[in-house]
């Protein structure tokens, strides 16, 4: 039985790989933990525990949800330098499309990391990995390890983040944003056909400026961490 599952998984990898041997599309599930925050039992119930990333041809949609309480999404296209964010929280159903200047401000507002050279690591969710030691001189965190893979056709999934110098897709890394540090680790990968409509909105959003959107998300995390 185990050999049958292995054959099916290998077949799936071949089926959804592009000509250069890279996996062209699929879905990654991540587990979110908060090892650097003092999180109470009440906070634990409110904070999200999972993230999903769907990717295809340089496009990605990352979704963080907490039941029916809230949902945030980041939609990016590395080929077009396109970045959109969506929030569904109570009466706030908002989206923003970032301008080139907004993207510069977003990157500048995040921690500035330095990275070691890549070192081969153990496989994670069936993918080969490259490990980096990450340091931030302006932060109190000790140097930590981040894990990326270049098995996918996505060239630079983190192009709008502190990890924009690292090629590939992050599989185990930190998100330091809104006064919260999330440890985000891939726990499952499913190679599959991703349809264009999966990147389309499922709600009717109010379009707002990036600054207004960013403040709304900051307010949300302030409530959860209070």
- 87 compared with 141, residue with greater pLDDT: 87
Residue 10 has pLDDT above 60, yes or no: no
Mean pLDDT of 176-191: 95
Handedness of CA 122, 124, 128, 130 (dihedral sign): negative
pTM of the predicted protein model: 0.88
Return the pLDDT at 11.
47
Query: Of 210, 207, 218, 212, which is closest to residue 94 (Cα–Cα)?
Result: 207
Residue 185 has pLDDT above 90, yes or no: yes
Return the number of other C-beta atoms located less than 10 Å from residue 79's C-beta. Answer: 10
Rounded CA-CA distance 226/215 in Å is 16
Q: Are 50 and 67 in contact (CB under 8 A)?
A: no
- Provide the pLDDT confidence category of residue 20 given band limits of 50, 70 and 90: low
Return the pLDDT at 223.
82
Q: Each residue of 64-87: pLDDT tens digit?
A: 998 888 899 999 999 999 999 999
- Provide the pLDDT confidence category of residue 161 given band limits of 50, 70 and 90: very high
Residue 6 CA neighbour count, 13 Å, CB half? 3
Distances (CA, A) of 148 to 71, 94, 111: 25, 31, 18
Q: 17-225 in CATH: which number?
A: 2.50.20.10
Mean pLDDT of 27-52: 90
Residue 7 has pLDDT above 50, yes or no: no
Q: Are 147 and 18 in contact (CB under 8 A)?
A: no
């Amino acid at each position: 039985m185990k050999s049958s599952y292995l054959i099916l998984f290998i077949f799936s990898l071949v089926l959804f790989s592009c000509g250069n041997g890279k996996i062209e599309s699929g879905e990654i599930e991540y587990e979110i933990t908060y090892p650097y925050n003092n999180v109470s039992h009440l906070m634990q119930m409110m904070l999200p525990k999972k993230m999903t990333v769907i990717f295809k041809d340089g496009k990605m949609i990352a979704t963080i949800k907490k039941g029916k309480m809230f949902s945030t999404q980041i939609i990016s296209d590395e080929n077009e330098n396109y970045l959109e964010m969506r929030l569904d929280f109570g009466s706030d159903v908002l989206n923003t499309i970032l301008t080139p200047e907004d993207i510069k401000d977003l990157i500048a507002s995040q921690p500035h990391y330095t990275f070691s050279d890549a070192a081969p690591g153990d496989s994670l969710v069936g993918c080969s990995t490259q490990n980096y030691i990450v340091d931030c001189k302006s932060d109190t965190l000790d140097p930590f390890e981040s894990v990326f893979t270049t098995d996918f056709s996505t060239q630079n999934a983190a192009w709008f983040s502190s990890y924009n110098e690292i090629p590939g897709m992050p599989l185990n890394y930190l998100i330091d944003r809104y006064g919260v540090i999330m440890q985000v680790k891939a726990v499952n990968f499913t190679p599959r056909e991703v349809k264009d409509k999966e990147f389309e909105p499922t709600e009717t959003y109010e379009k707002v400026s990036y600054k207004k959107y960013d403040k709304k998300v900051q307010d949300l995390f302030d409530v959860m961490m209070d």
